[in-house]
Amino acid sequence: MTLLLNILWFILGGFFSGLGWLLATVLMALSIIGIPFVRSCFNLAMFSFWPFGRDVISRKELTGRDDLGTGTLGLVGNIIWFVLCGWWLAVWHITAAVALGITIIGIPFALQHLKLAVASLLPVGKTVVDYDTIDRARGNATGPGPAPGAPAQLPPARTGNA
């Protein structure tokens, strides 16, 4: 189902949405002040092409550790990003969400645009991962294995002569 929704998304406007993110990536790469944003912008461009089944999560929440993008420098980076590119990408996604939300069949696509609008406002310190990875990071794992950061299960103590 996710593949079908992503294909429909791509055909019905996701291509243009991704192109907007790629344009922002190129603009950031051409400016000296925007170079630190190129990787985040490119990751979100790829997310914008295929958003179903994935979401944006803080790297601190995912790994349990701070890095340059999740601390004070990340806040400064998000402010610079918002001024340079964030607001116009958010306006585009909100406009598209309203247009798609008017139709009943467009509601799932409108929700994806709203998700992308939020991601476009403050992308520094964030990463794009699938829903299963987010569940494991938040301790809601339903699959095999412990969630990251969970205490390790020790094997039972051996008894007898060995």
Q: How many domains does the chain have?
A: 1
Q: Give a yes or no: residue 54 inside a domain.
A: yes
Global pTM reads 0.75
List the one residue out of 115, 70, 66 whose CA is nearest residue 94. Answer: 115
Structural Rg of the chain based on CA atoms: 19
C-alpha 136/C-alpha 154 separation (Å) is: 20
Quick one: which H or E segment has residue 58? Answer: strand 54-58
pLDDT of residue 14: 87
pLDDT of residue 154: 36
How many angstroms separate the Cα of 37 from the Cα of each of 27, 28, 144?
10, 7, 35
Q: Give a yes or no: residue 148 inside a domain.
A: no
pLDDT of residue 162: 41
Q: Give a yes or no: residue 143 inside a domain.
A: no
DSSP 75-111: HHHHHHHIIIIIHHHHHHHHHHHHHHHTSSTTHHHHH
The total of other beta-carbon atoms located within 10 Å of residue 101's CB is 16
Q: Give a yes or no: residue 152 inside a domain.
A: no
Q: Give a yes or no: residue 80 inside a domain.
A: yes
Structural domain range at position 108: 2-137
Q: Give a yes or no: residue 156 inside a domain.
A: no
Q: Give a yes or no: residue 99 inside a domain.
A: yes
Digit-coded pLDDT (tens) for 75-88: 888 898 898 888 99
**Token reading at 8:** 């429909």
List the one residue out of 151, 157, 78, 149 whose CA is nearest residue 119. Answer: 78
Per-residue pLDDT of the chain (162 residues; tens, 9 = 90+): 889 999 999 988 889 989 988 998 898 889 888 888 888 888 899 999 999 999 988 888 888 888 777 888 888 888 988 988 889 989 999 999 999 999 988 999 999 999 999 999 988 888 888 888 888 888 876 555 555 555 444 344 444 444
Q: Give a yes or no: residue 115 inside a domain.
A: yes
**C-alpha dihedral (76, 77, 80, 85), degrees to nearest 10:** -150
**Token reading at 5:** 């929704």
Q: Which residue bears the tokens 């803080």?
A: 58
pLDDT of residue 158: 41
Q: Which residue bears the tokens 């929704």?
A: 5
